Amino acid sequence: MTTESTGQGGRRPVRIGKYEVLRHIASGGMGAVYKALDVEAQREVALKVLPPDLAANPRMCERFRREAQAAARLRHENVAAIYEFGEVAGTFFLALEFVDGIDLHEYLERHGKLSPDVARDFLKQAAKALAHVHNQGIVHRDIKPSNFLLTMKDGRPLLKLSDLGLARQVREEDGRVTRDGTTIGTVDYMSPEQAHDSGLADARSDIYSLGCTFYHMLAGHAPFNEGSLIERLTKHVNVEPPDIRTINADVPDDLVHILKRALRKKPAERYQTSLELLRDLLNPDRIRAPREAKGPEKA
């Protein structure tokens, strides 16, 4: 992707097909993201471009293609929409809804721990997004604050789930891009089973990662944010996170219960679906304060 000289000391806008690149937004392991203008539809988009070295790798191209296929089926207010996946002169790109705002991780960096009411609202929106994604047979596998975009709508914060680059269809086993026995995801928010093998991740793994994200909202940091990569992975598998009330004393009993259940080490002891978690969020009166002496609640 290059600019072209106008011959008069200026440069023509960078173009990828019908998209005019306006500015760089971010870069990550699966490519750079630009704000761009769809000159045909006259709308701004987030253009995700696969770097040349990855584009030359068939497995990476396959992951990029699957991201497009997975996201193309999603239509929900709390999920960033995908418009097009394509290739122009060897450049692979994904055109996504442009969300005018910042990601949740940056928001937390600026504001620190959130009030329980704000965190509850954000968790409701995130659970709705995950419920829609899971209903389409997709496991995200990289739920974390930086993959939620925060903008405003009608004067209220609106959260949108983004980046399905690690997603896979639940029933898609043949030709899986991720090999058994490998780990993909982000360590600070990774479920115990995903730490062992990404192929074991299911909807309940996303719920664990969402629980870690919720913990970050309430505490101002992830549950296990210190130590080496191996040390943090080991803590996810074997160690209970510090009681959230020792960090944020304002957290009510119902949110403590929801957080603890989402962060159970064993998938069978967590919420089994995002809708189940959402029901508890919407009906706090139906939740009893958890009694640890009786052991973990069975789903």
State CA 68 to chain mean position distance.
Answer: 15
> Which residue has tokens 């009786």?
294
Burial of 176 (0-12, 13-18, 19+ CB in 10 A): middle
Residue 106 C-beta-side C-alpha neighbours within 13 Å? 9
Active-site entry in 103, 142, 206, 280: 142
- Six token digits for residue 69: 């296929």
Sequence-separated contacts (24+) of 243-252 with Cβ below 8 Å: 244/215, 244/218, 244/219, 247/113, 247/218, 247/219, 247/220, 248/113, 248/116, 248/218, 248/219, 250/115, 250/116, 251/116, 251/218, 252/116, 252/284
Q: What's the rounded Cα separation, in Å, for the pair 165 and 237?
A: 24
Instruction: Tell me, yes or no, if 280 is annotated catalytic.
Output: no
Burial of 50 (0-12, 13-18, 19+ CB in 10 A): buried
- Which residues are designated catalytic? 142
